[in-house]
Amino acid sequence: MNGKDMLEWMNGLDDKAVIDADVTPVRVKKRNGWKIGISVAAGVLAVALLTYIIYPYIKGKKNGKPDISQTTDFPQSSDTSISDTSTAIETQILKIFEMAAPVYPASRNIQQNCEKMDAYAKYCTEITRKVLSDGVGENKIFSPLSLYMSLSMAAEISDGNTRQQILDVMHQPDIKAARNTAKSIWLANYMNNGEDKLLLANSLWLNSGWTFEQSLLDILASDYFASSFSGDPTDADYSIAYREWLSEQTDGLLDDNLDGAQLDPAMLITLASSVNFSGSWESSFGYGEEGIFHGTSGDVTTCFYNSLGRVRTYTGENFISAVVKLKGNGSVRFILPEEGMTPEQLLQDEELFDFMNDADPNWDPLKIVEKEPQHTDYPNHLDYPTYENLTEIEYPTLTMPLVDFTSSFYLKDYCRELGITDAFDPSCADFSPLTKQGKGQLSVDSINQDARIIIDEFGCKAVAITTWYIGTGDDPIFDNKIVLDRPYIVEVVSESGLPLFVGIVNNI
């Protein structure tokens, strides 16, 4: 008998008692005694049911971690839907495994990291060339920032030559400088203003069978804004918490890629770093007309949209760029190579990266257009005044297709090519700052990144997750209209001028 049936049965007893009261009061007293007994039984049953539901989440989770019975944020409302209840339980599971949690900044300070970006610019140039030059002819979107933040944490939890090789790729002289740069990037760029945002998130997922240095986890929380979790990687709930974290940090936009993500039973440390960006155009785009995009896979007829507001331009020796501002959250740079040059070839151009890493490049001057003399005819063939030649400012325009695609990168080989080798060799890898166990056993198994970019008439959204698994010619001639009807490069830049995402659109 469920709770609803029990209540209806008890209400029926009340009605029966009232009827009987008109006939024999003694019988009423007898029925009220049964009612009290049934109420007590119902209370006991409710407690038993509650214990049955919660107990599985308590069992096996008390090994140095909070007791779920001591928390209070389970759904309390009786009208909570099943999906809401499931989400709340998953959030509860996430908190069970937490060992250290960051306090996110209340607001960003764009001036925070201006003097620290030279090292990031060098790193960004090298890694972007490595990653985007492969897979010629494919669509690719990559976040150098997501990888950079994960490299910073990897340097923090390693030591010796393992750490130094990672620092060299980041162009950082020591761990203190790397730590300061990572924190400065956070403070200068983290922003959550509702729909427009730039959310950075880091996390470590640890094997509870091993002992880890809590003091280092606290440093990761304070300087890298990283959450740390500990659990049994064979526990299904631990993988549920991991997937929940990945999905939450990317607004579910990578769920198709991450749907099967789970913690490897043999893993000792999994490190994750995400970037979640969205912004609305300062001036909107309007529908233009159908056109042809000349992609590497062939010509495709698609819809093109025209800029309705101001577009800034920059002309390099081998490219032209149209830059569209977002509402207080950076900009998007569309970079079109000269005719006959592919985006992959353009990546070897030094001027391109000088431009891409420059927060405020020298923009092309606005085009001044001379107008013909304006006349007004008067009746009876009278003389009419002749106005002086007028001038007006003509803003460049941009015509673009809509974009939505994902990329997956296996970054281990790229990192190896840049000089990180010891981290992948168990006999050389040194992760002693985080754990004294496993010397000669621990090494990085893989470094992966999944990313997605969406560009439409309303704005731009881009997300990325990077995970580490640790276990055993002549100047081109351009007119004033930029039409992205062939392969081009796209760069998403934060309000501080930091390159967040770089991609190649080869096909629509």
381 inside domain: no
92-133 per-position pLDDT tens digit:
666 788 888 888 877 676 665 545 678 999 999 999 999 999
Of 29, 59, 89, the position where a domain reaches its end is 59
Question: To the nearest whole number, what is the mean pLDDT of the chain?
Answer: 78
Contact predicate 455/505, CB 8 Å: no
> pLDDT band at residue 62, thresholds of 50, 70 and 90?
very low
120 plus 53 within the same structural domain: no
Dist. CA 67–CA 248, nearest whole Å: 23
234 plus 346 within the same structural domain: yes
CATH number at residue 348: 3.30.497.10
Question: Checking DSSP bridges between strand 391-394 and strand 367-370, what pairing results, if any?
Answer: antiparallel
27 inside domain: yes
18 inside domain: yes
pLDDT at 474: 44
147-159 per-position pLDDT tens digit:
999 999 999 999 9
pLDDT at 284: 86
Give SS3 for 372. coil
> pLDDT band at residue 67, thresholds of 50, 70 and 90?
very low
380 inside domain: no
**Alpha helices (H) along 304-375:** 343-346, 350-356
80 inside domain: no
109 plus 54 within the same structural domain: no
* Domain hosting residue 54, numbered range: 3-59
175-209 per-position pLDDT tens digit:
999 999 999 998 888 888 777 899 999 999 999 99
193 plus 335 within the same structural domain: yes
159 plus 11 within the same structural domain: no
> pLDDT band at residue 45, thresholds of 50, 70 and 90?
very low
Q: What total of structural domains would you count in the chain?
A: 2
pLDDT at 478: 57
pLDDT at 76 over 50: no
Kindly provide the b/e burial profile for residues 187-204, where b requires at least 16 CB atoms within 10 angstroms of the residue's own CB.
bbbbbeeeebbbbbbbbb
168 plus 286 within the same structural domain: yes
**Closest to 56 (Cα-Cα) out of 83, 80, 89:** 89
Burial class (CB in 10 A: 0-12, 13-18, 19+), 45: middle
Residue located via tokens 């013909």: 372
13 plus 154 within the same structural domain: no
Question: Checking DSSP bridges between strand 488-493 and strand 499-505, what pairing results, if any?
Answer: antiparallel
38 plus 147 within the same structural domain: no
Of 59, 87, 105, the position where a domain reaches its end is 59
260-315 per-position pLDDT tens digit:
788 888 889 999 999 999 999 998 899 888 999 999 999 999 999 999 888 889 99
327 plus 472 within the same structural domain: yes
367 inside domain: no
377 inside domain: no
pLDDT at 92: 65
H or E element at residue 166: helix 160-170
> pLDDT band at residue 13, thresholds of 50, 70 and 90?
very low
pLDDT at 115: 53
Q: Rounded mean pLDDT of 360-369?
A: 69
> pLDDT band at residue 479, thresholds of 50, 70 and 90?
low
Instruction: Record the tokens describing residue 190, joined without a space.
Output: 């983290």
HSE-CB at 40 with a 13 A cutoff on CA atoms is: 6
Q: Rounded mean pLDDT of 426-434?
A: 92
91 inside domain: no
pLDDT at 325 over 70: yes
Q: Rounded mean pLDDT of 475-486?
A: 73
pLDDT at 258: 84
pLDDT at 160 over 90: yes
Using a cut of 0.85, tell me whether the model's pTM lies above it: no
54 plus 108 within the same structural domain: no
Dist. CA 364–CA 499, nearest whole Å: 21
> pLDDT band at residue 413, thresholds of 50, 70 and 90?
very high
433 plus 489 within the same structural domain: yes
Residue located via tokens 């939450």: 248
Radius of gyration (Cα) for the chain, nearest Å? Answer: 31
H or E element at residue 206: strand 196-207
37 plus 148 within the same structural domain: no
